[in-house]
Amino acid sequence: MAWIGTVLLLLTSLAFLGWGLWKRGGFYGFPFLAAAMFLTFVLPQIPGLINDRFMPQDGALTRAIFFSWLCLMMCAIGWELGRHSKPGWNATFSEKRLLACSAVLSLAGAYFFHKFGQLDDEQRLRGFLTGTAVAYLFFAKLLTYGLAIALLCFARRRSPMALWIILFDCVFYFDRIVIAGRRGEAAELALMIALALWFHRRYAVPRHVVASSMVFAVVGLLAAGEYRAATYYSGAPNWRAVLDINLAENWRKLIQQGGPEFRNLAFSLSYVSENNAYDFGSTHWNTLVHSYVPAQLVGSARKEALYIRNPLRYAVGYEPAPGTTPTGMMDAFASFSYFGCLKFALIAALLAGIYSCAMQGNTAMQLLYMLSVIPAMLAVTHFTNEIAIAWVHIALFMIPVLIFARIPAPRATNDRSSPILEKRYNCAKKTSMS
């Protein structure tokens, strides 16, 4: 049954990917992105586990595969339910003010990226960051917001200021991608550029480029650990060690031995279902407390008191491999059993509504979707609350920016399809930006 489930998950992933590639711009939708994560991250981990005699013998692996397929299906169903949303709140924004905010956000984020890089190795390189490192990365995210605004403005009009902001921000992305080997930042940069061009110019990335990116995603899965060890964890980058990475051998080991994340998923689902150890969604509250309640301000004891005690997710004695992620399928099942797949339907429906509004020219929704795609993809590989954590952070910083940049209604253009407006003070005309 495990092989049947694996083939079903594979065929469904390929079907969603084929649909996204066939439909112009379809690969910007969440079903395509989710299917890409299942194909490049989840599926390669399964074959080696099927004949593993150390796996639970209660059909745990088959259960994990089938539940993963349900979650993928919910991504498509939720997207279809939410993609006919109305435009919602919209406004006209001053390009000059948006770029000013973009510059401020970029400088602030760059400062905290620099401060994070100055931390000692024990604080900066540990797998589970705490304290000062978390605070620095919390504000370093502002650089991404500044970049998103600049990309959106530059896609509409090639202004020198927007270009300089983009180049400045890309220096820090270069460090995170090339030196730190962060696949998430690489995907984030590529998707933000692609979405800005899609929203404003309806330029779609060539299909062969999109297909090639999935090959690079698999390469990243195989080489990430060794790459970071050579370029980031060892002090000075060792490029010779990077060239010595044996991708073929890593692929052989993955296929023969299976992947640690899916192994964790199978063991967790087995324990949770056998012991009815469901948390009924309280894990979402706990992750929000962890992310947004600073122990330095409220005290560790008060922060601990805010947590809701959850059941164990693994049997006593089982320890997940260091550096592995739980996957969104694990926390979805641990909350509501098989009904937990509805979490993915909800995420997809919300993203579809945002995307629909963005395609109708809503600037705020364009920015929100650009900043949401990576957290949404992490809902597959990490945990489903990634998207909620990201939206809280976005709301804290982007709502004030949009309020500041908004042009009051009496001064705004009457053209609803032009939500960003640039005012040229040396002439008596206004130019709209959509």
- Residue ranges of the chain with per-residue pLDDT less than 70: 87-89, 121-130, 234-235, 410-434
Per-residue tokens: 162: 């927007």
Q: Which residue range is the domain that position 221 belongs to? A: 2-277+312-433
Task: Indicate the helix (H) or strand (E) that contains 117.
Answer: helix 95-117
Cβ-based neighbour number of residue 274 at 10 Å:
12
Rounded-to-integer distance, Cα 313 and Cα 422, Å: 53
Per-residue tokens: 327: 């996957």
Sign of CA dihedral 171, 176, 180, 181: negative
Decide if 235 is inside a domain.
yes
- Cα 399 to Cα 28, 29, 59, 376, 393: the distances in Å are 24, 24, 47, 20, 10
Rounded-to-integer distance, Cα 279 and Cα 276, Å: 9
Decide if 53 is inside a domain.
yes
Decide if 285 is inside a domain.
no
- Give residue 424's pLDDT: 37
- Give residue 42's pLDDT: 96
Per-residue tokens: 116: 């994070």
Decide if 283 is inside a domain.
no
- Angle at CA 327, nearest 5°, toward 231 and 282? 125
DSSP class of residue 41? I
- Cα 201 to Cα 157, 195, 236, 257, 434: the distances in Å are 10, 10, 42, 46, 9
Decide if 229 is inside a domain.
yes
Rounded-to-integer distance, Cα 11 and Cα 229, Å: 35
Per-residue tokens: 1: 């049954």
Decide if 290 is inside a domain.
no
Residue 1 · residue 58 · CB < 8 Å: no
- Give residue 263's pLDDT: 94
Going by C-alpha positions, the residue among 397, 377, 369 that lies closest to residue 101 is 397
Decide if 306 is inside a domain.
no
Task: Indicate the helix (H) or strand (E) that contains 93.
Answer: strand 92-94
Going by C-alpha positions, the residue among 283, 289, 288, 292 that lies closest to residue 306 is 289
Give the helix ranges, DSSP H, for 141-243: 142-156, 160-174, 183-201, 207-231, 239-243
Decide if 304 is inside a domain.
no
- Cα-to-chain-centroid distance, residue 183: 11
Cβ-based neighbour number of residue 342 at 10 Å:
18
Contacts for 305-314 with beta carbons within 8 Å, 24 or more apart? 308/279, 308/282, 310/279, 310/282, 310/283, 310/286, 311/272, 311/275, 311/277, 311/278, 311/279, 312/271, 312/277, 313/268, 313/271, 313/272, 313/277, 314/264, 314/267, 314/268, 314/271
Scan for tokens 């994070």, then name that residue: 116
Q: pLDDT tens for residues 72-128?
A: 999 999 999 998 777 666 788 999 999 999 999 999 999 999 998 887 766 665 555
- Strands of 430-433's sheet, edge to edge? 406-407, 92-94, 420-423, 430-433
Calculate Rg over the CA atoms of the chain: 22
The domain total for the chain is 1
